[in-house]
Chains A and B, each alone.
Chain A
Amino acid sequence: MDSPEPPPRPPLRTLLVRNRKRTVLGMDPQQVIKYFFGLNASTAVIVLVLIMLFLLREGIDFLPTYRNELVTYRRAGLEFCDIIDKPLKEHQSLSSSLRQSVSGSLDTLGKTARDRRDAAFLLKNQAEEKATQQRETLEQALEQAPPPAADKLDILRREQQKAAAVAAASLVYPDLFTAAEKQQLQTEFAALTPEVTDLPPFLQTLAADFTAKDHEARTKFEALVTAQEEFEEAPEGLQEVLDELKEHAQETKEKADEFHVLETNRQRLLEAAAKAKNADEKASLTEEAEASVAEPVNLDERTKELTARAGELREQLENYVKAAEKASASLPQEAGTSAATTMLADVRAKLPVHVQEMRDAALQLDQWRSDKPVSMISVIAAFFFGSQWITNSSWQDFFGFVPLLTGSLVIALIAILIATPISVIAAIYTNQFASEREKEIIKPIIEFIQAIPSVVLGFIGISLVGNLIKDFSEVSWLQWVPGFPIQERLNMFNAGCLLAFMAVPTMFSLSEDALNNVPRAYIDASDALGATKLQTVFRVIVPAGISGILSAILLGLGRVIGETMVVLLVAGNRIAIPDFSAGPGVIFQPAHTLTGIIAQELGEVSRGSSHWQALFMVGIVLFAISLLVNWCARAVARRFEPHKA
């Protein structure tokens, strides 16, 4: 705008007059100040609301997207294959148990023989390696087209012999062998030359020994070995059919996806063409759109091809079940070792369940319909109660929330169980028993913990705590602890310990405040009745401060659930529902968490994909949990504190 006249300014006098009336923008200054402060206070509320809106905006589309994916999963027939495929996974775990049982049993007879054979062959390799250079020189000389002069060869031979002798002498012979045998081995290794390809006699004996022992063991445990082999091979026919069907279904899905992508692309191009002003542009866009034509997939047709083979599948399944049952029936009661016997018993107990599951699956095949609609409720249930979080899968992604939730909850529970006694007791001590000097030392130190970056704690968890727990779990007199010895250094207990450490400052400070807020008059009354210090503390002060302490614990819980870095680094990040059948030992299993999954995956997924949206859903739930916990903390703090009223 270039209007020549500047807007008329109000003359100075009017401003002054206004000032005299004490109004700002036509409002009373008192009011203006009030609004100013009110606005600042409400910023927090506004930001909170914005955060919620943002999370919702990104996450809310998840449900329809996921629904579409589940519809494709069903219509392309992947679900149909999974009916059989999922229960069949159990076969692998049973089979592996049996394999372990067999090898444990065979070891009872064959272990020494095998160890001796393996040790001897290892030594032979080492001996040869140490004399490699001379050996290779000799080999090359022998292979030369006109063989070198005999005396030259002799020199090479002698050198090789010398090197072999030195190598043989330098080896450490384990005590698996007697002194005489050690001697024998050394002589044989010293005599090794590339010109003799036969194994030295003692090595041959060792190998023969093992074969004999192994044969003996296999005969002894023949029933077990055959049963295991039979069981292992039982699903072959079924697997073959299933694999074909899976391939078919997957192809369908890929085609459908491709069609979907191209089709949306075409729609977009056409829209753009409709809007284009320029005729050339319009033409080229239309042309492009035409190119983006995909051949539509007749999903129904293709899934019919799948269901047509249901009979075949059922037949194979019945074969499998029969074979498995037969193998199970022929399993002996006893295996070679007690561990192996336990494993057998375990397999025997689990097999009928597995068989039943397979039979149920066969029945489900008939009821399965590719055109059954996927209801929104079932999508919500699939998220909130789904037990699988599988992403980037070539087969099908599942966004089930339960493994993450259980991981987060178990870790938080461990942390709170550890941190509560520590921080409450420390707070009671500091508030009631410590001298002023002690208070001056304890409080800043505990509060300093808060300043430690959580990533540093993560290091400590990985390098120090993990090893400590592992070492402790191998101490023999601690074997009564459930879950010992532990498999994974990075596990929920480790993360829980570190989170407890992080939660202590919050919980300690707030508990200490709660105790501090207990009115002095209560203490007077208790003292005047002749209570001892301990009685006053535990009968009056702690009960009077209990709501504050509870609210401190809840706020600690909020802190623990929201913590990310430590769990990401230390919890082990295995996305599976922990195996609670392990009893309390479950805490030594790795897990993944709500916070950890977001931190780990959000950076890698493409914006707006279903995975991205699923992560935002997780964020929404996390946010809701935190709000709930904080609200509970406040509610608890308000209750039972009449002396604050």
Chain B
Amino acid sequence: MSADSTAKTTPPPVVQVRDMDFCYGTSPALFDINLKVKYHRVTALIGPSGCGKSTLLRCINRMNDRVPSARVTKGEVLVKGKNIHDADVDLTQLRKQVGMVFQKSNPFPKSIYENVAYGLRIHGEKNKSVLDEAVERSLRQSALWDELKDRLNANALALSGGQQQRLCIARAIATLPDVLLMDEPCSALDPISTLKIEELMHQLAQEYTIVIVTHNMQQAVRVSDYTAFLHLGKLVEFAPTEELFTNPREKLTESYLRGTFS
């Protein structure tokens, strides 16, 4: 997918970060971030370790709320045009809208079925046929259905690492989120599993908007339409992936891409 194709239609950004500063207690982690995540596109966040990629990602579903004293000190984050820090925002609904996949796969020690159905269950879905349908859809979308349809009641922890991570993706998309956040989803996987997940992301992008953190630049090139480069808590450059990798505007980006970065 190329960045040009987005130019034709311009739906409003699904996630918009405006002039945001973020602090962990007294130590600032992000400075003046501006970012627009486009509808049904894959946006990659790259940058050296510790630059604040995960922090930025967690700002979008307010996972940072769980760290006491961590907060947005300036600016705002909008998801589908709504400021997620508004008082009338229901955190559970926000997280239903914004799914997340973690670096290390973390299925619950429950059956495969229950893992996928969990999100729906906690949002009050009790109808068995609705659950069955959602489980099947999610497993199909995460390319697990054919492998697992006969053992939906098996314990999820018995799956291989790659399957577990795809199960986590299935679990995250079961609630039909608008945005799917992925924090280095392949960093703990072998190359073949990584490949499978990268393929998956192309398909998922047709249904969901994806923000992915990766430390692997090739991966960013392979999967993303847009790339944001962060450095020391600042967003240095944000551009269509092709553009950023072939023709970076900033010197810092260029040196990072070259690997001549200190």
A527 and B104 contacting across the interface, CB-CB below 8 Å: no
The verdict on B81 contacting chain A, using a C-beta distance below 8 Å, is: no
Q: Identify whether the interface residues of B are mostly helix, strand, loop, or mixed.
A: helix
When distances are taken between beta carbons in the complex, the residues of chain B under 8 Å from A642 are 109, 155, 157-158
When distances are taken between beta carbons in the complex, the residues of chain B under 8 Å from A530 are 91-96, 119, 122-123, 175
In the assembled complex, the Cα of A531 lies from the Cα of B102 at a distance in Å of 16
When distances are taken between beta carbons in the complex, the residues of chain A under 8 Å from B100 are 528
Tell me whether A529 and B118 are in contact in the complex, defined as CB-CB below 8 angstroms, given that A521-B104, A524-B102, A642-B157 are known contacts: yes
B95 and A525 contacting across the interface, CB-CB below 8 Å: no
B96 and A524 contacting across the interface, CB-CB below 8 Å: no
A539 and B122 contacting across the interface, CB-CB below 8 Å: yes
In the assembled complex, the Cα of A522 lies from the Cα of B105 at a distance in Å of 10
The verdict on A643 contacting chain B, using a C-beta distance below 8 Å, is: yes
In the assembled complex, the Cα of A531 lies from the Cα of B123 at a distance in Å of 8
A531 and B122 contacting across the interface, CB-CB below 8 Å: yes
Q: Identify whether the interface residues of A are mostly helix, strand, loop, or mixed.
A: helix
Taking the closest CB of chain B, its distance from the CB of A543, in whole angstroms, is 7
The verdict on A618 contacting chain B, using a C-beta distance below 8 Å, is: no
A527 and B95 contacting across the interface, CB-CB below 8 Å: yes
A535 and B122 contacting across the interface, CB-CB below 8 Å: yes
Nearest B-chain residue to A525, judged by Cβ:
B106
B157 and A527 contacting across the interface, CB-CB below 8 Å: no
Q: Which of B66, B95, B155, B157 sits near A529, CB closer than 8 Å?
A: B95
When distances are taken between beta carbons in the complex, the residues of chain A under 8 Å from B155 are 642
When distances are taken between beta carbons in the complex, the residues of chain A under 8 Å from B61 are 528
Query: Hey, what's the 0/1 contact readout for A103-130 against B, CB within 8 Å counting as 1?
Result: 0000000000000000000000000000
Tell me whether A543 and B109 are in contact in the complex, defined as CB-CB below 8 angstroms, given that A529-B96, A529-B175, A530-B123 are known contacts: yes
Task: Give residues 35-71 of B contacting A (CB, 8 Å).
Answer: 61, 63, 66
In the assembled complex, the Cα of A532 lies from the Cα of B100 at a distance in Å of 16
Tell me whether A528 and B63 are in contact in the complex, defined as CB-CB below 8 angstroms, given that A535-B122, A643-B157 are known contacts: yes
Nearest A-chain residue to B94, judged by Cβ:
A530
The verdict on B99 contacting chain A, using a C-beta distance below 8 Å, is: yes
Query: Hey, what's the 0/1 contact readout for B113-134 against A, CB within 8 Å counting as 1?
Result: 0000011011100000000000
A527 and B63 contacting across the interface, CB-CB below 8 Å: yes
- Name the residue among A529, A535, A540, A640 with the largest chain B CB count within 10 angstroms: A529
B110 and A529 contacting across the interface, CB-CB below 8 Å: no
The verdict on B168 contacting chain A, using a C-beta distance below 8 Å, is: yes
The verdict on B143 contacting chain A, using a C-beta distance below 8 Å, is: no
The verdict on B108 contacting chain A, using a C-beta distance below 8 Å, is: yes
Q: Which of A519, A525, A527, A531 sits near B168, CB closer than 8 Å?
A: A525
B118 and A522 contacting across the interface, CB-CB below 8 Å: no
Q: Which of B66, B92, B109, B158 sits near A532, CB closer than 8 Å?
A: B92
Query: Hey, what's the 0/1 contact readout for A180-198 against B, CB within 8 Å counting as 1?
Result: 0000000000000000000
The verdict on A406 contacting chain B, using a C-beta distance below 8 Å, is: no
Taking the closest CB of chain A, its distance from the CB of B254, in whole angstroms, is 35
A529 and B106 contacting across the interface, CB-CB below 8 Å: no
Query: Hey, what's the 0/1 contact readout for A632-645 against B, CB within 8 Å counting as 1?
Result: 00000000101100
The verdict on A469 contacting chain B, using a C-beta distance below 8 Å, is: no
When distances are taken between beta carbons in the complex, the residues of chain A under 8 Å from B102 are 521, 524-525, 528
When distances are taken between beta carbons in the complex, the residues of chain A under 8 Å from B96 are 529-530
Task: Give residues 84-100 of B contacting A (CB, 8 Å).
Answer: 91-96, 99-100
Query: Hey, what's the 0/1 contact readout for A513-550 against B, CB within 8 Å counting as 1?
Result: 00000010110111111111001000110011000000
Give the number of residues in A that approach B within 8 Å (Cβ atoms).
20
The verdict on B166 contacting chain A, using a C-beta distance below 8 Å, is: no
Taking the closest CB of chain A, its distance from the CB of B231, in whole angstroms, is 26
Tell me whether A527 and B119 are in contact in the complex, defined as CB-CB below 8 angstroms, given that A522-B106, A543-B109, A544-B108 are known contacts: no
Tell me whether A526 and B91 are in contact in the complex, defined as CB-CB below 8 angstroms, given that A544-B109, A642-B157 are known contacts: no
In the assembled complex, the Cα of A530 lies from the Cα of B104 at a distance in Å of 19
The verdict on B14 contacting chain A, using a C-beta distance below 8 Å, is: no
The verdict on B172 contacting chain A, using a C-beta distance below 8 Å, is: yes
In the assembled complex, the Cα of A642 lies from the Cα of B168 at a distance in Å of 17
B108 and A525 contacting across the interface, CB-CB below 8 Å: yes
Tell me whether A522 and B95 are in contact in the complex, defined as CB-CB below 8 angstroms, given that A527-B66, A530-B119, A642-B155 are known contacts: no
B108 and A529 contacting across the interface, CB-CB below 8 Å: no
A525 and B171 contacting across the interface, CB-CB below 8 Å: yes
Taking the closest CB of chain B, its distance from the CB of A523, in whole angstroms, is 9
When distances are taken between beta carbons in the complex, the residues of chain A under 8 Å from B91 are 530
When distances are taken between beta carbons in the complex, the residues of chain B under 8 Å from A521 are 102, 104, 106
A643 and B122 contacting across the interface, CB-CB below 8 Å: no
Tell me whether A519 and B95 are in contact in the complex, defined as CB-CB below 8 angstroms, given that A526-B118, A531-B122 are known contacts: no
A529 and B171 contacting across the interface, CB-CB below 8 Å: yes
In the assembled complex, the Cα of A544 lies from the Cα of B114 at a distance in Å of 13
Taking the closest CB of chain B, its distance from the CB of A291, in whole angstroms, is 80
Q: Which of A522, A527, A528, A535 sits near B108, CB closer than 8 Å?
A: A522
Tell me whether A524 and B122 are in contact in the complex, defined as CB-CB below 8 angstroms, given that A530-B93, A642-B157 are known contacts: no
In the assembled complex, the Cα of A519 lies from the Cα of B102 at a distance in Å of 14
B119 and A519 contacting across the interface, CB-CB below 8 Å: no
Taking the closest CB of chain B, its distance from the CB of A442, in whole angstroms, is 20
When distances are taken between beta carbons in the complex, the residues of chain A under 8 Å from B107 are 525
A531 and B92 contacting across the interface, CB-CB below 8 Å: yes
Taking the closest CB of chain B, its distance from the CB of A645, in whole angstroms, is 8
Nearest B-chain residue to A531, judged by Cβ:
B122
B172 and A524 contacting across the interface, CB-CB below 8 Å: no
When distances are taken between beta carbons in the complex, the residues of chain B under 8 Å from A519 are 106
Taking the closest CB of chain B, its distance from the CB of A410, in whole angstroms, is 35
In the assembled complex, the Cα of A544 lies from the Cα of B118 at a distance in Å of 14
In the assembled complex, the Cα of A69 lies from the Cα of B157 at a distance in Å of 60
Taking the closest CB of chain B, its distance from the CB of A638, in whole angstroms, is 14
In the assembled complex, the Cα of A525 lies from the Cα of B109 at a distance in Å of 12
CB within 8 Å of B: which residues of A? 519, 521-522, 524-532, 535, 539-540, 543-544, 640, 642-643
A-B contact pairs, 29 of them (CB 8 A): A521-B102, A521-B106, A524-B63, A524-B106, A525-B102, A525-B108, A526-B118, A526-B122, A527-B66, A528-B61, A528-B63, A528-B99, A528-B102, A528-B172, A529-B175, A530-B93, A530-B95, A531-B92, A531-B122, A535-B122, A539-B118, A539-B121, A543-B110, A544-B108, A640-B109, A642-B109, A642-B158, A643-B109, A643-B157
> What are the 10 tightest A-B residue pairs by CB atom distance, in nearest-first order?
A530-B95, A521-B106, A530-B92, A528-B100, A529-B119, A642-B157, A530-B96, A531-B122, A525-B106, A535-B122
**Given A525-B108, A527-B66, A531-B92: 10 more A-B contacts, CB < 8 Å:** A522-B109, A525-B171, A526-B108, A526-B118, A529-B122, A530-B95, A530-B96, A539-B118, A543-B109, A643-B109
